[in-house]
Structure 1
Amino acid sequence: MSETPGPENSSIDVTVKPSGAGCVECLAEPDGWWVHLRRCAQCGHIGCCDSSPAQHATAHFRESGHPVVQSFEPGEDWFWDYASETAARGPRLADPQSHPGDQTAPGPADRVPEDWRDRIH
């Protein structure tokens, strides 16, 4: 596990707050839902993980070039560097550190289909 993700840590901004409590793009879609959430360490964009149907966190990396994400799940503080495809350690980012504890995973609860396990990657 590398100590500092990204070249010279330039892909992390510890002052940027998360864009919200859920995947930005999934929440904009009437039937959007996610398995787990990832937070861009550079701009705070919250996107859904690669197990989710839409994989918005990876799409954000491809569109923005922001390579480092941190888990946005309660109790998790690991980072992933898409550019090097490695787990990494990073600094504490601006609060909040995760989505609200009462928010379900997968979520949001009212949008998750009954057959969600059959729809994940």
Structure 2
Amino acid sequence: MAETCTHLDTIHDVTPSAAGCEDCLKVNGTWVHLRLCRECGHMGCCDSSPAKHATAHFHEKNHPIVQSAEPGESWLWCYPDEVAFELG
């Protein structure tokens, strides 16, 4: 596990793809928390959600960084480096 994220160059200003989990909304699914892909704007559900769409998006697209989309949270997670961090 890395101490810092080595994928900061993949972070972009993005527009969320949906107001909830994009993939859950398509199938009338449910989610617990939302994660925003900072490379393309895909809005997916967290690993506490039944479908884990944010992690599935990482495995499908290899977009390494998500940001919490929960109110009051600003942390990011880098999947390959397995590290949480904040921009600052």
**TM-score, length-scaled by structure 2:** 0.90
Are 1:34 and 1:53, in contact at CA under 8 Å, matched by a contact in 2? yes
Work out which of the two has the higher radius of gyration on C-alpha atoms and give 1 or 2.
1
Counterpart of 1:73 in structure 2 is 70
Are 1:38 and 1:48, in contact at CA under 8 Å, matched by a contact in 2? yes
Matched ranges for 1:3-82 at <5 A? 5-7=5-7, 9-14=8-13, 16-30=14-28, 32-82=29-79
In the alignment, the residues of structure 1 paired with residue 76 and residue 33 of structure 2 have an alpha-carbon distance, to the nearest angstrom, of 14
Q: What RMSD over aligned residues (CA atoms) do the two structures have, in Å?
A: 1.4
Q: Provide Cα deviations, 1:73-108, integer angstroms capped at 9, x if missing partner.
A: 0000000000111112236xxxxxxxxxxxxxxxxx
Residue 27 of structure 1: SS of its match in structure 2?
Answer: helix
Q: Which runs of 5+ in 2 are unaligned?
A: none
In the alignment, the residues of structure 2 paired with residue 6 and residue 28 of structure 1 have an alpha-carbon distance, to the nearest angstrom, of 33
Counterpart of 1:111 in structure 2 is none
Q: Higher strand proportion, which one?
A: 2
Runs of 4+ in structure 1 off by over 3 angstroms are none
Are 1:6 and 1:68, in contact at CA under 8 Å, matched by a contact in 2? no
In the alignment, the residues of structure 2 paired with residue 12 and residue 60 of structure 1 have an alpha-carbon distance, to the nearest angstrom, of 15
Q: CA deviation at 1:35?
A: 0.4
- Provide the identity percentage: 56
Q: Which runs of 5+ in 1 are unaligned?
A: 92-121
**TM-score, length-scaled by structure 1:** 0.66
